Structure 1
Amino acid sequence: MPQLVNTFMIDYQLDYEPSEDQLTKSVIEPFERLSGAKFELLFKNEVQGRITLSFQSDNSNGKDIFILIRRYDKAGASEKTLVSITAEAPDYFDDIIDKTPGMDLEDTIKDALDKNFPDSEPTHYPAIKRCIPDSPYLRTCDDRLVEYGFTKVLYSARSEYQKIQIVDTVDFGRLLILDDMTNLAETDTLPYTHTLMNLPKENYEGKEVLILGGGDGALMNELQKLDKPPKFVTMIDIDEMVMEACNEFMPTVCGPYLRKDNREGPTHKIIVGDAVAFLENCL
């Protein structure tokens, strides 16, 4: 059984409208040459200025590749014809495609296909790894897709409230991920946590601070480390599993404050609970 699925995508913007035969010749013949497999047409459809073609390799040499081609016709004289190509295979394309000497996988496929779409504006995407337990593709808060270089998954679990992961990364150290969205990395103290604290402008000396959320412990830790710290800091977060995971795997971020035996002291208190309900009870 395959351990993952790889998807490879190429888009072309063309000044002409290639026919079904041209699309087949331009895309399928190069894949047959590179893989040594033969492809058969599974489905074709033409409706409202769009052509859709799907092909499957015959798997006679153990190489299982599915290819989807779509042509979107020009909306106007000044517009481009759009062609999208999606190739999908179990496991790694590196094991299926015979790479050109001196070229990596992407360059091999690019070289084989681009010459068949002259005067085009191509966009090539790296192979995307799918159907794996801990995806490296994460959403940012502004809905961008970012691939992180995971070196090791340290923690992966689902609490009552969300999916929680902590991973080692090449670029950012350990990274907390909540529901497949980047949350906080070890390198975020200055650019993120201190920005939230409005440092160095804000003076916290003698003040009482309330943190709503903050289960990673970063704000609590940085407030306590100030030369002139607040009088008292209260933190309320609903998900204790986040606290426990960060305490174990991100101690440089949270300090000692998420330990169960250290969640309350002379200058701080951490409450596991609903921050909204806490506020309502205070009013």
Structure 2
Amino acid sequence: MSANSVLLDFSLDPTRISDEVSRKDIVKICKEHLEKYLTGLKLIYDMLTDDGYLCILNAPGAVVITIRFFNQGLITINIEYYRAECEEPKISFEQTRELENGLVQILKLNHGQSLPALQRGPVTKYFPTADERVIEYDIDKVLYDKRSDFQKIQIVHSKSLGNMLVLDELQNIAEADLIYTETLMRRGVEDYKDKEICILGGGDGALLYELLKEKPKHVVMLEIDELVMDACNKYMNSICGDVLEKRKSSNYEIIVGDCMVYLNKYIKEKRKFDYVFGDLTDIPISDTPTGEIWDFIRTILEASFSVLKPTGKFMTHGNGVSCPESLRMYEAQLANLSSKVTFTKCTSFVPSFMEEWVFYQVQRESPAATEA
């Protein structure tokens, strides 16, 4: 079940929009061509706007069509209707293309474009990329949908990616995303055997599950949202195994709570780790490194280096390679830390993100480098 939005866009000489006779002819021809696919059309409203002209038509079956003229030389046609799961579309994509081509030819328009129906409803199929583009996923059902005290939590099923965790309308990890976890931990590059590790966040359990395969001495995971873990334990255990079910074993412990509270506790206790993983928020897309999320990132970085051993490493995810300005701002924050640090970075194409993602490995400068 979904509200379907069929969108068509056309460009033309702006003078044809400002001319009333020409505009009325265009509306008449658009209506005639639309009636080939949607019978019983009626013009129910029209008006001049500050930037052009708008008319609204309807057809049986609760179909509403808006035709909008923009003085800059653009016409948009939006066809909207509700479609039950068993129903055929009121206008197919093939018919939409026929409509587009017919109008371009008869009206001698400069350009036309039509899109497949956007399907909006209980099953969300559209999620943004790092640089604010929209990607449509092949999602066919919602398995989990709840709001915790901290965020909206969904687990949806994708035909190609498997089950996928979505937090606050942003895709986080799918069953097809092992490469994300392996790149974050630099599997095959870093040696975790007999190491002490702290994970900040990581509520999906994937990082903890994969790290335990490397035989560390102990891993503590600090996750604030118990509902995320409950949902992933039930629907994402192909990536987290049983670690979210057990919560504690001889070589790991999951603590539910604010990671900063426990980092401050570890600082007071002088507890040190070989690795700290920042599996929390992505680097924000912003003009300047200011605001609540950037403050949080700086606080996490300072606290993490306070609990790292001298040779320890801070491992984290960044953002997409399509966001170089944000990545540069993050690297500038690293340069301003109380501890002098160096970093390396690597990238991997993450299937559910449908883009190349950047991962950071940060450690203190060696004494020799500092002296030099």
Category of TM-score, reference length = shorter chain: 0.7 to 0.9
Which amino acid is 2:142 matched to? Answer: V
Matching of residues 64-79 of structure 1 within 5 Å: 64-74=62-72
Please give the root-mean-square deviation of Cα atoms over the aligned residues, in Å. Answer: 2.2
Provide the rounded CA distance (Å) in 1 between the counterparts of 2:264 and 2:68: 54
Residue matched to 1:234: 220
- Between Structure 1 and Structure 2, the one with more helix by share is 2
SS class of match (1:258): helix
Residue matched to 2:4: 6
Deviations 1:131-177 (A, max 9, x none): x2221112234322111112332222222222212122111111111
- C-alpha change, 1:214 and 1:141, in structure 2 (3 Å) is farther
- C-alpha change, 1:123 and 1:277, in structure 2 (3 Å) is farther
TM-score, with normalisation over the residues of structure 2?
Answer: 0.64
Residue matched to 2:239: 253
Gaps of 5+ in 2: 18-22, 268-372
Gaps of 5+ in 1: 75-80
Which amino acid is 1:22 matched to? Answer: D
SS class of match (1:216): coil
SS class of match (2:193): coil
SS class of match (1:11): strand
Contact 2:100-2:113 at 8 Å conserved across structures: no
Q: How much has 1:233 moved relative to structure 2? A: 0.9
SS class of match (1:107): helix
Contact 2:68-2:75 at 8 Å conserved across structures: yes
Q: How much has 1:108 moved relative to structure 2? A: 3.6
Aligned residues: 260
Q: How much has 1:31 moved relative to structure 2? A: 1.3
Residue number among 187, 197, 206 corresponding to 1:199 in the alignment: 187
- C-alpha change, 1:254 and 1:150, in structure 2 (3 Å) is same
Deviates more, 1:171-180 or 1:14-23: 14-23
SS class of match (1:33): coil
Provide the rounded CA distance (Å) in 1 between the counterparts of 2:15 and 2:232: 55
Residue matched to 2:157: 168
Which amino acid is 1:216 matched to? Answer: D
Provide the rounded CA distance (Å) in 1 between the counterparts of 2:80 and 2:118: 9
Residue matched to 2:119: 129
Residue matched to 1:77: none
Identity, % of aligned positions: 35
Q: How much has 1:264 moved relative to structure 2? A: 1.1
Contact 1:54-1:68 at 8 Å conserved across structures: yes
Which amino acid is 1:109 matched to? Answer: L
Which amino acid is 1:82 matched to? Answer: L
Q: How much has 1:221 moved relative to structure 2? A: 0.5
Residue matched to 1:78: none
Contact 1:67-1:87 at 8 Å conserved across structures: yes
Deviations 1:51-108 (A, max 9, x none): 1312122x4xx3322222223334xxxxxx22222121222794534x6xxx734334
Contact 2:123-2:141 at 8 Å conserved across structures: no
Provide the rounded CA distance (Å) in 2 between the counterparts of 1:89 and 1:18: 30
Deviations 1:212-266 (A, max 9, x none): 111000100110112xx3221111111111111111111110011000xx21111
Provide the rounded CA distance (Å) in 2 between the counterparts of 1:236 and 1:205: 21
Provide the rounded CA distance (Å) in 2 between the counterparts of 1:159 and 1:46: 43
